[in-house]
């Protein structure tokens, strides 16, 4: 199968074909999602919570992200792999943003990078794309700014919708190939999607975005506890895995496992 390139994503937008995107952080998920035809995989800084067990997306470092990015890119044949730039690895300057992107490309073998922020980050996006690296933007609720935004809250309600549109346009003009919109009212997301030539990727941004993204552990029900409203659970992996572990433990305790067919003589 031919590799997915950024121009394919724009062509899908022009044809009005919505496309799915998922996070992936390791070999089996990357291989499986790629074979299932997911065109874009994101090695999100959500690895902070979902792989490393930190309490938010802030603590994860570039050194922790790079091996995950490398595992995912090594495991796909077709998908475009986007590496998230973690908190603190790009905000200082366009030069820092480019230096971190270069690490993601050279060490992680990523195909593109993603960073959070609106028009204030247009110079950062410009520096990276000028160096030949495709950039995905991320606006609306941006988890790295959780403390400044006052927690997980919908962004771009009322008058703030115009600001969001200006942010999206600034990112497009700086050369971004797509923009994630997180926790944005559906009406604002629809308008921005129509105004932009580049694809919008929604997460909690309604049905009119050009693409939809979810964190795989959320949509597969691996993460226990209450999920945000925008998450749909497509499977109960936690239940399946817990059942398997309990059965294994009970069969070991009852000397039912290993059975004769699992034994060498
Ligand atoms: O880190 C992440 O998983 C993300 C997606 C939710 C867009 O940024
Ligand atoms: Na992220």
pLDDT tens by residue, 64-108 = 999 999 999 999 999 999 999 999 999 999 999 999 999 999 999
End-to-end CA distance of the chain, in Å?
45
List all residues whose CB is within 6 A of at least one atom of ligand 1. Answer: 23, 42, 44-46, 84, 138, 180, 203, 213, 215
ipTM over 0.95: yes
Whose C-alpha lies nearest to ligand 1, atom 8?
A: 44
What confidence score (pLDDT) does residue 224 get? 79
Strand 19-23 and strand 211-214: the pairing is parallel
Residue 226, pLDDT > 90, answer: no
Residue 57 Cα, ligand 2 centroid: separation in angstroms? 7
Averaged pLDDT, 35-52: 98
Residue 211, pLDDT > 90, answer: yes
What confidence score (pLDDT) does residue 209 get? 98
pTM of the model: 0.97
Residue 136, pLDDT > 90, answer: yes
Q: How far apart are CA 148 and CA 166, in angstroms?
A: 20
Q: How far apart are CA 178 and CA 125, in angstroms?
A: 12
Averaged pLDDT, 28-54: 98
Sign of torsion over alpha carbons 186, 189, 195, 198: negative
Active-site positions read 182
Q: Which residues of 116-144 are buried (b: 16+ CB within 10 A; e: fewer)?
A: bbbbebbebbbbbbeeebbbbbbbbbbbb
Whose C-alpha lies nearest to ligand 1, atom 2?
A: 44
Q: Which domains are assigned to the chain?
A: 6-234 (3.20.20.60), 236-265 (no CATH)
Residue 244, pLDDT > 90, answer: yes
Quote the mean pLDDT of the chain: 97
Task: Starting from the CA of residue 217, give the closest ligand.
Answer: 1
């Amino acid at each position: 199968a031919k590799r997915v390139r950024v121009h394919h994503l724009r062509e899908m937008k022009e044809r009005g074909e919505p496309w799915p995107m998922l996070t992936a952080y390791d070999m089996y998920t990357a291989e499986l999602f790629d074979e299932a035809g997911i065109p874009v995989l994101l090695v999100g800084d959500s690895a902070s919570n979902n792989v490393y067990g930190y309490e938010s997306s802030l603590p994860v470092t570039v050194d922790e992200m790079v091996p995950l990015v490398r595992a995912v890119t090594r495991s796909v044949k077709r998908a475009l792999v986007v590496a998230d730039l973690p908190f603190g690895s790009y905000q200082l300057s366009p030069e820092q943003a480019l230096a971190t992107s270069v690490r993601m490309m050279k060490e992680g073998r990523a195909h593109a990078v993603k960073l959070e922020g609106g028009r204030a980050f247009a110079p950062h996006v410009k520096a990276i794309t000028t160096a030949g690296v495709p950039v995905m933007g991320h606006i609306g609720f941006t988890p790295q700014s959780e403390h400044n935004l006052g927690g997980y809250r919908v962004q771009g309600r009322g008058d703030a919708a115009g600001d969001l549109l200006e942010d999206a346009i600034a990112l497009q003009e700086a050369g971004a190939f797509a923009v994630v919109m997180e926790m944005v009212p559906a009406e604002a997301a629809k308008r921005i999607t129509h105004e932009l030539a580049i694809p919008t990727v929604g997460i909690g941004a309604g049905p009119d975005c050009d693409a939809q993204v979810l964190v795989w552990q959320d949509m597969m029900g691996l993460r226990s506890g209450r999920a945000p409203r925008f998450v749909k659970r497509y499977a109960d992996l936690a239940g399946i895995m817990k059942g398997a572990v309990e059965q294994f433990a009970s069969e070991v305790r009852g000397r039912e496992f290993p059975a004769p067919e699992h034994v060498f003589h």
